[in-house]
Amino acid sequence: GIQVEQSPPDLILQEGANSTLRCNFSDSVNNLQWFHQNPWGQLINLFYIPSGTKQNGRLSATTVATERYSLLYISSSQTTDSGVYFCAVEGYSGGGADGLTFGKGTHLIIQP
Amino acid sequence: DTAVSQTPKYLVTQMGNDKSIKCEQNLGHDTMYWYKQDSKKFLKIMFSYNNKELIINETVPNRFSPKSPDKAHLNLHINSLELGDSAVYFCASSRTGLSDTIYFGEGSWLTVV
């Protein structure tokens, strides 16, 4: 099956800093999503981005499908950004309705 | 209104028991899923289901079974619970199951003692 690798695994930053999280995947994808799992365990959709660039406030994401990677940018970090960020993909070979394959996540801690 | 809702949120039960987790989505989606998050926070799909097809991850023990009374509900039944079943179980849904955003419920924390 498709493999998803995220880096870095852990990241500690001061409030106000910017960060870039990376997701590499091993095959062509028809779905790529970024999620934030907050300290209460909720999985929050950030972006649906199988290709291209999107922005939502301080967050933006870029997926270069031909090179099989996606980047999540967080600017002017706030303590509420802390949590685990997951990249998840669905490959074309799955034929649909196979759900997402998740990476192991980046654990982000924003210190005040 | 919560788009994808699960009950119970927390469940503590003894080994050998049978339990169910219920899931409902009010988004009008055709496809629903169950995912398992282990103690290392790794998320893995267990099942995907729409009106026509059930796809089972081959690593899921047959003690786990999804039951769908209608398109808006996908319940998870677990028989003969084992200690290793302790995890967070997430229900999710998507409009078509093909290249669509997948929305997750808030999770059900299962502890087997």
Q: What is the pLDDT of residues B1-58, one digit of tens each?
A: 669 999 999 999 999 999 999 999 999 999 999 999 999 999 999 988 887 678 777 7
Contact criterion met (CB < 8 Å) for B107 and A31: no
Interface contacts (A, B; CB < 8 Å): 60
Q: What band does A97 get if pLDDT is binned at 50, 70 and 90? A: low
Q: Rounded to an integer, what distance in angstroms lies between the CA atom of residue B83 and that of residue A15?
A: 40
Whether residue A109 has pLDDT greater than 60: yes
pLDDT in tens, B57-82: 778 899 999 988 888 999 999 999 99
- Please report, as a single letter, which amino acid is at residue B14: Q
Supply the pLDDT for residue A87. 98
Q: Rounded to an integer, what distance in angstroms lies between the CA atom of residue B5 and that of residue B8?
A: 9
Whether residue A96 has pLDDT greater than 60: no
Contact criterion met (CB < 8 Å) for B98 and A100: no
Question: Which pair of structure tokens corresponds to residue B92?
Answer: 């999710």
Q: What residue ranges in chain A does DSSP mark as E strands?
A: 4-7, 10-14, 19-25, 29-37, 43-48, 52-56, 59-64, 69-74, 83-91, 101-102, 106-111
Q: Give the closest of A35, A37, A96 to B98, CB-based.
A: A96
Whether residue A91 has pLDDT greater than 90: no
Mutate to test the interface with B, among A33, A84, A93, A100 (most CBs of B within 10 A): A100
Q: Rounded to an integer, what distance in angstroms lies between the CA atom of residue A108 and that of residue A11?
A: 5
Helices (H), A1-112: none
Contact criterion met (CB < 8 Å) for B97 and A97: yes
Supply the pLDDT for residue A93. 62
A10 touches chain B (CB under 8 A): no
Residues 6+ apart with CB under 8 A from B5: B23, B24, B25, B26, B105, B106
Please report residues of A whose CB lies closer than 8 A to that of B53: 97
Closest CA to B20 of B89, B103, B94, B92: B89
Q: Give the closest of A48, A50, A99 to B48, CB-based.
A: A99
Q: Give the closest of B44, B96, B104 to A43, CB-based.
A: B104
| CB neighbour burial string for B44-75, b if at least 16 within 10 angstroms, e if fewer | bbbbbbbeeeebebeebeeebbbebeebeebb
Q: Residue A18: how many CB atoms within 10 A of its CB?
A: 11
Task: State the average pLDDT over residues A67-91.
Answer: 96
Average pLDDT, chain A: 93
Supply the pLDDT for residue A99. 78
Please report residues of B whose CB lies closer than 8 A to that of A37: 41
Supply the pLDDT for residue B59. 83
Q: What band does A94 get if pLDDT is binned at 50, 70 and 90? A: low
- Please report, as a single letter, which amino acid is at residue A64: V
Closest CA to B8 of B21, B18, B17: B21
Closest CA to B35 of B22, B45, B49: B45
Supply the pLDDT for residue A77. 97
Mutate to test the interface with A, among B33, B99, B101 (most CBs of A within 10 A): B99
A34 touches chain B (CB under 8 A): no
